[in-house]
Amino acid sequence: MLDKNGIAKRIAQEVEDGYYVNLGIGIPTLVANYVRDDISVEFQSENGILGMGPFPIDGEEDADLINAGKQTITALPGASYFDSATSFGMIRGKHVDLTILGAMEVAENGDIANWKIPGKMVKGMGGAMDLVASAENIIVAMMHTNREGESKLLKKCSLPLTGVGCVKKIVTNLAVIEVTENGFLLLERAPGVTVDEIKAATEGILIVNGDIPEMDLD
């Protein structure tokens, strides 16, 4: 079973040379720490930076340099800063190759709910609405179940939707799953996790074809 850093490490394997990548709030912000050194990747944060680097070393934080989740970050050589209009122009103009988001629920058809829990005060949907509407390659980083042990990979989302039919792949603490027209397709399982455990933790249709390999995180 993976922790949050393990999820981020596995997702980093999906990042290719030359990609422009948007990192959402939560687990996705950790992905920048695990991208291979031999490829060139530009991380974009919707609050207005292109060229975001890993989290800073303790004691070297710059309080004026933050990501969309208000966490302190670093900037790589050549990084640029811009206003929200320019930032969302990049997103809406489909100039971002990969979007990595957190989620509270994902449905078997690729619907995603990641912005509101009924009854709880939130300021608004924020940039998630633009990201799911504009991105063509969305990977979700999330825990497979909630704190009560209930599945977060569902037949149909119960929370207010952020986007419809947009998620392509999900990486959880238990598995790597592709969203297909027939349901969730199991691609890999986390170290020490069995297929039966993944089935038990998945409410939506789970397709299992043959022997499922264990994730390689090296």
Q: How far apart are CA 21 and CA 18, in angstroms?
A: 9
The token pair at 174 is: 């238990």
What are the tokens at 162? 């952020």
**According to DSSP H, which parts of the chain are helical?**
4-12, 84-92, 128-134, 195-200
**Hunting for tokens 């297929």 — which residue is that?**
195
What letter would DSSP give residue 109?
T
Q: Hey, which residues are catalytic here?
A: 46
Cα distance from N-terminal residue to C-terminal residue, the chain: 15
Residue pair 8/34 in contact by the 8 Å Cβ criterion? yes
The gap from C-alpha 22 to its chain's centroid, in whole angstroms, comes to 9
Cα–Cα distance for residue pair 13/152, rounded to 1 Å: 23
Using DSSP bridges, classify how beta strands 169-171 and 138-141 pair: parallel, antiparallel or unpaired: parallel
Rounded to an integer, what distance in angstroms lies between the CA atom of residue 40 and that of residue 45?
A: 17
